[in-house]
Structure 1
Amino acid sequence: MCLLAFDASAQADRRAQGKADEWIGRDASDLLLQLRVDGGRVEITEDDQAGETRYSWATINPAWTETWTTGGNVVGISYGAPIYDSPVQVHERHHDATHRCTITFIADLEGIIRRWEMHGNACRSDVRRPKD
């Protein structure tokens, strides 16, 4: 069973890598036109010494709060929500934001993508291939 999970994970990683490989040899301006750049999603870093520009995208699962009610008997339903008699307790649990994937494309001085780096557990669904 563990071997099957590893194999499925390896196939997903290969799919993400295959999508990233399709950007190799393309102009970096295509990245900025085709991938989301709003909301601080892209970080551009220039390395003059190496003659490279790094374009990084990170995706996250946003923070969220789970709420549930305990205690009391259900005495009715209003608009699909249960109505409880006393005593009722409302509980909340906060869940922090979690990292999904970071992909960085590295372009040369001419602006051509030469390689990429990626890490994260959701890259298979977050990495996008170029639109032709």
Structure 2
Amino acid sequence: MGTVLFAAISGMCLFTFHADAQASSRAKNKADEWIGRDASDLLLQLRVDGGRVDIIEDDEAGETRYSWSTINPAWIETWTEQGPLQGVHRGVPIFGPGQTHERYHEATHRCTITFIADLDGIIRNWEMHGESCAWDVRRPKK
């Protein structure tokens, strides 16, 4: 019994690792499609509103870095618990006052993708950090 359980747990760990590897390669494949394209395509095709893009020009290195970051925003979880049963009047239960609870959830980082363009404005490289990049990185439109 213990050996079967260990094998099952080991199998789940390998499956999880394999899924992460697939997600990572999916994000890399999407990012690779931008290599060789004009950096202006990034600004035309990806969202730039609301401070989504950060552009840094590095004259010494002769490159421009275009970075997009995605987050899960902070949120508040709210739930209400019914008060305790106080009694019954004519077959109708009477409950004490209910209580409402709140739990604050911090914002979490999803993905940061940075495309690096040369002096001619052609994308030559990219860098990626985060756990949800497979979902957040977009392919260029044809």
User: TM (normalized to structure 1)?
Assistant: 0.90
Aligned partner of 1:53 among 52, 64, 67: 64
**Percent of residue pairs identical:** 75
Instruction: Give the drift of 1:53.
Output: 0.1
Aligned partner of 1:109 among 115, 119, 129: 119
Tell me the distance in 1 between the aligned counterparts of 2:40 and 2:95. 61
Aligned partner of 1:7 among 18, 26, 33: 18
Runs of 4+ residues deviating >2 angstroms = none
Partner-residue secondary structure (3-state), 2:54: strand
Aligned partner of 1:91 among 97, 101, 104: 101
Which residue of 2 is the match for residue 81 of structure 1? none
* Larger of the two Rg values belongs to structure: 2
Which deviations, in whole Å up to 9, do the C-alpha atoms of 1:43-83 show, x marking residues without a partner? 00000000000000000001100001113269xxxxxxxxx
Alignment of 1:31 onto 2:31 = no
Instruction: Give the AA of the match of 1:35.
Output: L
Aligned partner of 2:27 among 1, 12, 16: 16
Tell me the distance in 1 between the aligned counterparts of 2:57 and 2:96. 62
**Stretches of structure 1 lacking an aligned partner (at least 5 in a row):** 75-83
Tell me the distance in 1 between the aligned counterparts of 2:51 and 2:95. 47
User: How well do the aligned residues superpose, as a CA RMSD in angstroms?
Assistant: 1.4
Aligned partner of 1:71 among 75, 82, 93: 82
Which residue of 2 is the match for residue 123 of structure 1? 133
Report which of the two has the higher share of helix: 2
Instruction: Give the AA of the match of 1:71.
Output: Q
Tell me the distance in 2 between the aligned counterparts of 1:48 and 1:86. 69
Tell me the distance in 2 between the aligned counterparts of 1:21 and 1:106. 12
Instruction: Give the drift of 1:98.
Output: 0.4
